[in-house]
Amino acid sequence: MFVLDQSQIEEYRNDKPEYYRQLTKQLEALLAEDSNWVTNLSQMSAFVYQMLPDLNWVGFYLVNPKNEQALLLGPYQGKVACVHIPFGRGVCGTAASTQETQLVEDVHAFDGHIACDGDTNSEIVMPMVVDEQLKGVFDIDSPINNRFDQDDADGLSELLDILISKTEF
């Protein structure tokens, strides 16, 4: 797990909305160089993994071009992961089929959860919708129970909006 320095962790814990505002500015600068999707989804995964504490997996599952009812592993940071996830299965498949953010306090209590990384205890998964079309989901996992709150959901959703606006899919 990547470890932030203590002052960054304190800034994050003291004022999450302000911390995410700083991240949005940094992400805009980071993604300014190119609009290629592999490049930008890779940078986004690494950026979120580095800039938020207590994460063990951050990345994307994309709608599989060979089977549009399933997700295919995309750019990520963390341990090797499951390659295919059918729509409706696990947290990622549920986010894809409902097109709604899934904020899961305890993944072990989530029906059908797919345990790719046994370290994961809580997670947030957001649908990535571009021009009203689902492109995939953004999955962020933590070893800590109940790691994510509404401030994280709001902040991460802003970061995802920036990624979408800077990327050609």
Q: By the criterion CB under 6 A, which residues form the site for ligand SME?
A: 57, 81-82, 85, 90-93, 113-114, 116-117, 120, 123, 139, 141
Shortest separation between residue 57's beta carbon and ligand SME, angstroms: 5
Task: Give whichever of 48 and 91 is closer to ligand SME, judged by the CB atom.
Answer: 91
β strands within the chain, DSSP E = 57-64, 67-78, 84-86, 102-104, 122-130, 133-142
Could you tell me which of 52, 30, 55, 50 has the C-alpha nearest to residue 40? 30
Task: Give whichever of 35 and 146 is closer to ligand SME, judged by the CB atom.
Answer: 146
Task: Give whichever of 65 and 118 is closer to ligand SME, judged by the CB atom.
Answer: 118
Q: Which two tokens stand for residue 52?
A: 């938020």
Spatial contact of 82 and 116, defined as CB atoms under 8 Å apart: yes
Residue partners of 35: CB distance under 8 A and separation at least 6? 166, 167, 168
Which of the 8 DSSP states describes residue 168?
B
Task: Give whichever of 81 and 129 is closer to ligand SME, judged by the CB atom.
Answer: 81
Shortest separation between residue 4's beta carbon and ligand SME, angstroms: 21
Shortest separation between residue 77's beta carbon and ligand SME, angstroms: 10
Alpha-carbon gap, residue 7 to 165, rounded angstroms: 31
Shortest separation between residue 92's beta carbon and ligand SME, angstroms: 3
Which of the 8 DSSP states describes residue 15?
-
**Which SS3 state, helix, strand or coil, does residue 93 take?**
helix
Task: Give whichever of 123 and 152 is closer to ligand SME, judged by the CB atom.
Answer: 123
Shortest separation between residue 138's beta carbon and ligand SME, angstroms: 11
Residue closest to ligand SME (Cβ): 90
